[in-house]
Structures are given as C-alpha cells and as structure tokens.
Amino acid sequence: MNIHEYQARELFEKFGVASSKGKVASTPEEAEQVAAAIGTAKIVVKAQIHAGGRGKGTFVNGFKGGVHLVHTPAEAREVASKMLGQALVTNQTGPEGRVVNKVLVAEAVDISRELYFAILVDRATSAPMIIASTEGGMDIETVAEHTPEKILNISVDPLLGIQPYQTRKIAAALGLRGPLMTQASKLFTALYRTFIEADCSMVEINPLVVTPEGRLLALDAKFNFDDNALYRQPAIVAMRDTAEEDPREVAASEFNLNYIGLDGNIACLVNGAGLAMATMDIIQYSGGKPANFLDVGGGATKDQVSAAFKIILSDKNVEGILVNIFGGIMDCDVIAHGIIEAAREVGLKLPLVVRLEGNNVEAGKKTLSESGLTIIGASTLADAAQKIVAAVKAA
C-alpha cells in the first residue's frame, strides 16, 4: 500500500522528522487559505498523486509541472485551480496520468543541496538497507546507472536497529558536518523508527535538502507499506486512497482475491500463487499472453469465484479464460458451481477452458458437463494452455 506525500508528513510529525510547514487542500479556496496561514514569502503547491516525477510532469490540460513555486495566496489558489481535477502525466504514471484530487501547500525553502535518503527491505540480506546519495532531486535509478560510486548502501541489523556510528557514517558520506551531522543523525534515526514502527517496505526521501541557514529537511516522501502487516496498522489503512489504485485490484481485495492486471488477452483464474505463476508461464510458452495474475486462494468460496470472473471480464482485452484449479483444500465441485453461476450471470461468450484436478474432481467435471455451457475441458496444464490459445486464435 502507498500513501500521499501530505499523509507521509503526518508520520513525519508523529516521529519527529524535520520538514517544511505545510497542509493539504482540496479546493483552490482552501489552497489560498492554507498559503495565507503559512504566511511565508514563498510557497510551493504540490499535486498529490501516488507517483513521483511530479516536478517534471505535465497536466493533460497542458499546464506544466506538478510542483509550483508561488509568492502570494492568490497565486496559490490560481495554481491549485489548474491542478485540481486534472490528470498529471509523469514518467511514472503512464500516458493517461493520474487525476489530482488534493494539493499540498507548503512553505518553500531555499535549497543549497539536494540529497537522497531511503530505507528499504533488502531481500538478499533479509535486513533493512539504507541507501544514501549526494545526488538528490533526480531519479536514483539514473544515478545508479551513470554514477554508481555516488550511492552508499548500509545494511542495518534488524535486532540492533540503526546505530549512531552508522548515522554518522551516512552523514559524513553526504558531506553533512558539525550541527548538520547532529540534525542528520536525529533525522535518520527518526526515519528508521518510522520505517520499523509503521511496517514500511520502503521510505524514500528525495530530496532531503540542506538550506542556506543550515537546516536539514525532508521535502518529498514516498512510503510503501507491507500489505501483510496492515492488519496491525489501522492508522495506515485509514490513509488508503483507492482512487489511486487499479479498480480491478480494489474489487479483488474486497473479496480477498490476489489479482494483478497485466496487458495480455488470456485471463487466468487459479488457486495458489505458485500454480498461478506456472499457469502464466505456460500460457506464454504456448504462444498466448496472460491478461492477469489471479490467485483465488486455497479455500475459495462460490462467491469468490463468481467475483473473480467478473473482475477478469471487466478487462476489455480479455479474449479467453483459463481456469486451472488443483483441489487440495478446495472442493472441485464448489469451483464448478462458482464457474457456472458466474458464467450465466455475466452471459459469458468468450472461450473458457477449465482444468480441474484433485479433491472431488469427478463431481466437478460432471457439474460442468451437465451445465449446458460451452466449456472446454482439459486434462493437463499443457493441454489446457494449448486449448485456450487455440480457442482464442480461432474465435
């Protein structure tokens, strides 16, 4: 799960991470009021979407830049009115962009240096990893490609937590000395605490800035959270913005289905993540392209199967469906009833290949064959993949 920058700032406040003053606004009038309340000579108005690269982005209405410097509250209102309700296209949004529903209005600070600081979970070491660089304000991927020597990686022992010698080492590598080193140690420690206590999988501050007066501030924030820990993070869950998510994935999460939309034409409905991956592979191997990853879980109900079908079919690119179920915990006959109910309800016209195996499989096959629906049966995984690819080509 992701959150907006203005929400990340609430976490900054809670954990004591220094940032500039700011508040979110949903209307141009509100943006003007917030700007007046902040009262500084320079203000930034920042589009709130779950994607980076906003500064260099362009709105579909032609307005340039999702991060704007203004000098008066009236100007803040003007800029907000051009952003709100408009889609902003950045190098991370895709060509259709993301609609801006809120803007952050914040104190604009003078910047001497822009740095980069992130914490993420490193799978290789199974530990939190800190990534820091003197090259802030640009994509870290670009820095990694062209000047990898400018990136510092520090692994943190999850049992010990971040150590003072580590924060000093990072500060020194970033050229932060004297009072700035003290601020840096405090900020890095506070961010590490946020990362652990909020169950983040990533925290990225880009840029972390040094001002001419010698302040160290986190000016942008990107947070990712571990979905498996959300059950114990109600305050984070409350920050979820489903308008930013793929509507199919939102619908899937309501039914506890693991769905990820892809861009192929053959939808698949599978129980178990590993089997779903294998099914996608074999569709590809047989000359097709998977339209999605969908794991209905080990003990799916008829309602879940039915919901899964509707989500799959809401994708206009889908030209055929492959159902691949191994009945371990699951009863194949339950799945068969779910398939039939869903197919009838949505008036399914697309080719449908079903491969069932395992618990109560004979009853399941019988249910399908007696349904009167045109369902292509398959015995093995390879057989199923070849049949759906052929059926889509023939259709």
Helix and strand element counts for the chain (H, E): 13, 19
Q: In what order do the strands lie in the sheet with 376-377?
A: 258-261, 292-295, 266-270, 320-327, 352-358, 376-377
Size of the site for ligand ADP (CB under 6 A): 18
Question: Are the C-beta atoms of residues 191 and 223 closer than 8 Å to each other?
Answer: no
Torsional class of 46: left (φ above 0), alpha (ψ -120 to 50), beta (otherwise): beta
Q: Please tell me which residue in 32, 204, 244, 319 is annotated as part of the active site.
A: 204
Token pair 């004297």 is at which residue?
A: 178
Nearest C-alpha neighbor of 267 from the set 385, 366, 118, 128 = 385
Judged by beta carbon distances under 5 to 8 A according to partner kind, the member of ligand ADP, Mg ion, none in contact with residue 48 is none
**67 touching ligand ADP, by CB under 6 A:** yes
Nearest C-alpha neighbor of 151 from the set 178, 125, 126, 132 = 132
Of the residues 220, 244, 331, 333, which one makes contact with Mg ion according to CB under 5 A: 220
**106 touching ligand ADP, by CB under 6 A:** yes
Stretch that binds ligand ADP, among 45-53, 188-196, 326-334, 366-374 (CB under 6 A): 45-53
User: End-to-end CA distance of the chain, in Å?
Assistant: 39
Torsional class of 85: left (φ above 0), alpha (ψ -120 to 50), beta (otherwise): left
Stretch that binds Mg ion, among 68-76, 127-135, 212-220, 262-270 (CB under 5 A): 212-220
Q: Please tell me which residue in 116, 192, 244, 319 is annotated as part of the active site.
A: 116
**Binding string to ligand ADP for residues 193 to 232, with x set by CB under 6 A, is what?**
-------------xx-----------xx------------
Neighbouring C-beta atoms of residue 183, cutoff 10 Å: 18
Nearer to Mg ion, 189 or 206 (CB): 206
Residue nearest to Mg ion (CB): 220
Q: Cβ 217 to ligand ADP, closest distance in Å?
A: 8
Of the residues 54, 82, 98, 248, which one makes contact with ligand ADP according to CB under 6 A: 54
204 is catalytic: yes
Considering only the C-alpha atoms of the chain, give the largest distance between any 2 of them, rounded to a whole number of Å. Answer: 80
Query: How far is C-alpha 47 from the chain's CA centre?
Result: 17
Nearer to ligand ADP, 137 or 377 (CB): 137
Nearer to ligand ADP, 84 or 313 (CB): 84
**20 touching ligand ADP, by CB under 6 A:** yes
**137 touching ligand ADP, by CB under 6 A:** yes
C-alpha dist (Å) from residue 214 to 21, 110, 135, 220: 16, 10, 18, 18
**130 touching ligand ADP, by CB under 6 A:** no
- Cβ neighbors of 142 (< 8 A, separation 6 or more) are none
Stretch that binds Mg ion, among 146-154, 178-186, 206-214, 300-308 (CB under 5 A): 206-214
Residues written for the chain: 395
**55 touching ligand ADP, by CB under 6 A:** yes
Of the residues 108, 187, 236, 332, which one makes contact with ligand ADP according to CB under 6 A: 108
- Cβ neighbors of 330 (< 8 A, separation 6 or more) are 271, 298, 299, 300, 358, 359
Nearer to Mg ion, 8 or 336 (CB): 8
Q: Cβ 165 to ligand ADP, closest distance in Å?
A: 29
Give SS3 for 221: coil
29 is catalytic: no
Residues marked active site are found at: 116, 204
Residues in contact with ligand ADP by CB under 6 A are 20, 44, 46, 52-55, 67, 106, 108-109, 111, 114, 137, 206-207, 219-220
